[in-house]
Amino acid sequence: MDHQGVELKKTALISGGTSGIGMAAARSLSYEGWHTLLLGRDKTRGQAAEKQILNSRFISCDVTNADQCRAVAASVGKDCVLAAVITAAGIYRENLLENVSDEEMDRMFRVNVYGMIYLIRAFWHRLKRDRGSVLTIASDAALQGNTQCSIYGATKGAVAGFTRSLALEAAVYGIRVNCLCPGDTETNLLDEQIRRYGGTRGEMGRHYPLGRIAAADEIGNVAAFLVSDRASFMTGTVIPVDGGLTDW
């Protein structure tokens, strides 16, 4: 509550919140009574997400633009408690290192790494004030090597390393910072991956000890747990949610 005794809305800000794992996290949090701010670049997709997620609001933002991240931070009013920032925006590309262009490499790092950092930095003072938590989304590729994924793996390894270090400097403010590492998940990103590189969900599933890939809500539920008070003594953790993939 604020100084006037008004109940403030417990709110999570989610980049990539209009689809995939980000939207699944928003859905899970909405079931628990949270409000969510869904960041994305596609207005049509954002408006559709608003209709599906209770107590959500779409905000147009390209996280690779630091000025836009700062503008979003300035626009979030004091009528809420910023209890969590979840950085789920990301892109996936496969390519042999010798074939990777400078432009492709730059784009991967700008979205997967710089976009994450820009957003968290923009909201850092608010997180300190509200004692919120941060959840970054990496990948199994942050934990093990994947063929034709040296650049993608480098970006996700950076996410995990950033998370561990930020957790140490954030702890003094009571801010928890954790990282979730999913394997293949049923999302729009997976659809694009299959269109680009071939294969089937069944073939992917055979690489997993559980014999299948994840549903988006299975990852979203863990994300919601990690930013909630139920995980109040967890920080600096890098957690695989991958059906046993990285335990082979």
Mean pLDDT of 207-235: 97
pTM here? 0.95
Let me know: does 159 contact 135? Beta carbons within 8 Å.
Answer: no
Domain span at residue 221 reads 9-183+216-241
Q: What is the CATH number of the domain that holds 226?
A: 3.40.50.720
Q: Is the pLDDT of residue 3 over 50?
A: no
Residue 16 within a domain: yes
pLDDT category of residue 4 using cuts at 50, 70 and 90? low
Residue 17 within a domain: yes
Residue 71 within a domain: yes
Give me Rg for the CA atoms of the chain.
Answer: 17
Residue 1 within a domain: no
Residue 211 within a domain: no
Q: In angstroms, how far is the first alpha carbon of the chain from the final one?
A: 48
Q: Is the pLDDT of residue 230 over 60?
A: yes
Cα 146 to the chain's mean position, in Å? 20
Residue 195 within a domain: no
Q: What is the DSSP letter of 7?
A: P
Locate 160 and state its tokens: 């995990």
Q: What is the mean pLDDT of the chain?
A: 95
Percent of the chain's residues with pLDDT above 70: 98
pLDDT digits (tens, 9 = 90+) for 31-57: 999 999 999 999 999 999 999 999 999
Q: In total, how many domains does the chain have? A: 1
Residue 207 within a domain: no
pLDDT digits (tens, 9 = 90+) for 52-85: 999 999 999 999 999 999 999 999 998 999 999 9
pLDDT category of residue 243 using cuts at 50, 70 and 90? very high
Positive or negative, the Cα torsion across 182, 15, 119, 62?
positive
